[in-house]
Structure 1
Amino acid sequence: MRRVPAAGPSGVMAALARPLRGAVASLRALPPLRAARGGAGRSGAGTEVLGKGFKRGVVLSAGSFLVYEAYGLISRFAEVHASSKVEEVVEQADYLYGSGETEKLYHLLVQHKTSEDAELLWRLARAARDLAQLSSTSAEEKKQLVYEALEHAKKALEKNESNFAAHKWYAICISDVGDYEGIKAKIANAFVIKEHFQRAIELNPKDATSIHLMGIWCYSFADMPWYQRKIAAVLFATPPTSTYREALRYFHMAEEADPNFYSKNLLYLGKTYLKLNNKKMALLWLSKAREYPAHTEEDKQVQKEALELLNSI
C-alpha cells in the first residue's frame, strides 16, 4: 500500500491532488451527449447544449466531492498530528518535572502558551509557579510569574472544565495571587479555592495532591491568627472556618491515596498532631519528613523545618 507523504498537510494535499486531477480528466474525456435519433434542428442543438451542461455538472460535482473528501482527510490528519505533538510535549514536560529541571521545563512549555490543550496549559501554570518559588528568582520576577501562572491555569480551566488538574492549579494560583492583594482578597478567594479543590477531588478521588491541598486549606483556617479572624468576621457574614481535626483527616486521606508521595504532607501530619498535643504521633511524622529524600528546594525546606520542630519537642 502506498504511504501518504509525511511532509505535513501540504504533502497530503499534493498526494490527493493527483487522483483528483485524474478523475476530472477522465470525466472530461466522456463523449458529448447526442440528440435522440430523429431529433434535428433546434431540438437537437438544445439537447447538445444540455449534454454539455450535464457533463460540466458531473465534473464539478465529482470535483467538489473529491475536494471535500480531501479537506476532511487533511483536517483529520491535522487533528491527529496536533494530538501527537501535544502528547510528545507532555511526555518531555513530565520527564523534566520529574528530574527537577524547573527552568528547562518552563522554557519548553512557554513556547506553547497559545495552545488550546488544557493538559499543556495547566502544566505551564505549574511550571511558571515553580519558577517563581526558586530562591534565585527576584521578587519582581516572582510576582510576574505568579500572575502569569494564574492566567495559564484560568485558560486551562476554560478549555476543559472536567480536567481535575486544571481545577487544582487554578486554586493554587489564586491562593498565590492573594499574597499580593491583601487580606480581604485572600479571605474572599478562600471560598473559590475550596470550591476548586473539592471539584478536583470529585473528578479524581485518587489524586493525593488535591486531597493534601484541601488539608492545607483546613489547616490554614484552623491556624488563622485572631486579628485575621476579626477582619474576616467584619467582612463576611459567614467567614471560612475549619479545624485541625478536619485538616488531619485530609492529610491522612492523601497518605492513604499515595503513601509517602510528598514531603510536605508528612510535615503537616507532624505539625497538625503537635497542634492537637499528640507528641508521640508528631515525632513519628516529623521524623519521616526529616528523612524524606530531598529532590527539590521545597524538600530541603521541609527537612529543615521538620528538624527544627523535632528539636523543639
Structure 2
Amino acid sequence: MLQVFGVAGYSFMRRLPKYYGRYFLCSKQMHALTIVGHITAFRDYLFGTKKASKNENGSQLEKTDKVIAEADLLYLEGKYYEAYQLLNTVFDRLNSSVLWRISRVLFSIASNETLSYGERKHLIFEAYHLAKEAEEKTKTNFEVYKWLAILLKAKIDYATTHEKLKNIPNIKRYLMAALELNSRDITVLYLLGHWHYELASLTWFQKKLVTFFYSVIIPEANFQEAYEYFFKIETLKPNYFVTNTWMLAKSCYRIQNYEEANYYFDIVDVLSYRTTFERRCMNKIKKNYKNRAV
C-alpha cells in the first residue's frame, strides 16, 4: 500500500562530524573529498569570512557559473562523484543553485547499491537538508521544489509508517510548487501522475484503516488527474520513456477508456529501454502485459 510514499533534528554543529565526515567510508577517495570539500565551510561557519570586494565577488560568481555548467555535464554523463567534488570547490550555503545541485548529486550517489543502509541514509538526509536550505534562499527555482519532493520521498523511506503517511500532502505541495514555476517539466508531471494514481488505487476500506490506526486522512486523488499528467508528458515528448507510456495506459484503463488503453499498451510492447531503471520496469511490464494488469 502506498508504494509511491514509502528528523534530522540536528544543529549544523552536531551534524557536521556525522554527515560530512562519514559519507564515503566505503571509498577512501570520496571520504577525503568530503573532508577537504567542506573544511572551508566549517571554518567560515565558526570564524566568519573576510568581506569580499566587488571585483572578488564578480570573479567568484563567474567561477561558480563555470563550475555549475561543468558539474551539470558531469551529472548528465553519470559521473556523480566527479560532479560532487567539483561543486564542493564553490560550496556556499547562500547559493541555492549550488545547494540543490549538491542535493541532486548526493541522491544519485545514494542510489549506489554497494553503499550500506546507514551510508545511503546519511546521504539522503543531508541531501534533503541542503535542499531545504536552498528553499530558504529562493522561492522561484522549480528545481529546488522538485528535488525537495524527490528527497522527501527518499527520506521518509527510512521513517515510520506514520511519518510516511503524514508527509503525503507535503510531497504533493512541493510538486505543485515546482509545477507552478515550470509546467512542462517531465519529472514533475510524472511524479504528480504517480501520486494521484497510487492514492486513487486505495479502496475506501484501506483509507478508513489508515485513519483509524494512524489518525491520518488520505488526501483526495483520482485516476482522471493521473491520466492528465501522464498524457501531458506524452504530448510533450511522445514515447519519451516506457514507464510513462505504461502508466498512461493503466490510467486510461482505470477511467474506462479501453480503446485508448489498448493503444498505449501496444506501444509499450514495442518500446525499448535506455536505462537500467527502465529495463527493470520493462521486465515487470512484460510480466503484466498479457493480462493488462493495473
TM-score with structure 2 setting the length: 0.71
User: What is the number of residues matched between the two proteins?
Assistant: 242
CA apart distance, 1:120: 1.8
Seen in structure 2, the aligned counterparts of structure 1 residues 309 and 92 have a Cα distance that, compared at 3 Å, is farther
CA apart distance, 1:202: 0.8
Answering whether residue 63 of structure 2 is matched by residue 85 of structure 1, we say yes
Q: What is the match of residue 141 of structure 1?
A: 119
Answering whether residue 160 of structure 2 is matched by residue 172 of structure 1, we say no
Seen in structure 2, the aligned counterparts of structure 1 residues 239 and 156 have a Cα distance that, compared at 3 Å, is same
CA apart distance, 1:198: 0.8
* Identity over aligned pairs, percent: 28
Which structure would you say has the larger Rg? Answer: 1
Q: What pairs up with 1:25-44 in 2 under 5 angstroms? A: none
CA apart distance, 1:295: 4.1
Q: What is the match of residue 250 of structure 2?
A: 271
CA apart distance, 1:312: 4.1
CA apart distance, 1:117: 1.7
Tell me how far apart the structure 1 counterparts of residues 86 and 174 of structure 2 sit (CA, whole Å): 27
Task: Say whether the 8 Å CA contact 1:163–1:203 is kept in structure 2.
Answer: yes
Indicate the RMSD between aligned Cα atoms, in angstroms.
2.9
- Alignment partner for residue 242 of structure 1, among 208, 221, 244? 221
Task: Say whether the 8 Å CA contact 2:253–2:261 is kept in structure 1.
Answer: yes
- Alignment partner for residue 99 of structure 1, among 53, 77, 88? 77
Which deviates more, 283-292 or 296-305?
A: 283-292
Tell me how far apart the structure 2 counterparts of residues 305 and 236 of structure 1 sit (CA, whole Å): 34
Q: What is the match of residue 186 of structure 2?
A: 208
Unmatched runs of 5 consecutive residues or more in structure 2: 1-50
Tell me how far apart the structure 2 counterparts of residues 292 and 90 of structure 1 sit (CA, whole Å): 34
Task: Say whether the 8 Å CA contact 2:207–2:217 is kept in structure 1.
Answer: no
Q: What is the match of residue 99 of structure 2?
A: 121
Provide Cα deviations, 1:120-158, integer angstroms capped at 9, x if missing partner: 221221221122223333322222222122112111111
Q: What is the match of residue 299 of structure 1?
A: 278
Q: What is the match of residue 35 of structure 2?
A: none
Q: What is the match of residue 221 of structure 1?
A: 199
- Alignment partner for residue 252 of structure 1, among 206, 222, 231? 231
Q: What is the match of residue 186 of structure 1?
A: 164
Seen in structure 2, the aligned counterparts of structure 1 residues 156 and 203 have a Cα distance that, compared at 3 Å, is same
Seen in structure 2, the aligned counterparts of structure 1 residues 242 and 79 have a Cα distance that, compared at 3 Å, is same
CA apart distance, 1:76: 2.5
Q: What is the match of residue 68 of structure 1?
A: none
Seen in structure 2, the aligned counterparts of structure 1 residues 160 and 311 have a Cα distance that, compared at 3 Å, is same
Seen in structure 2, the aligned counterparts of structure 1 residues 110 and 144 have a Cα distance that, compared at 3 Å, is farther
CA apart distance, 1:227: 7.0
Seen in structure 2, the aligned counterparts of structure 1 residues 301 and 104 have a Cα distance that, compared at 3 Å, is farther
Tell me how far apart the structure 2 counterparts of residues 92 and 149 of structure 1 sit (CA, whole Å): 20
CA apart distance, 1:204: 1.3
Task: Say whether the 8 Å CA contact 2:64–2:90 is kept in structure 1.
Answer: no
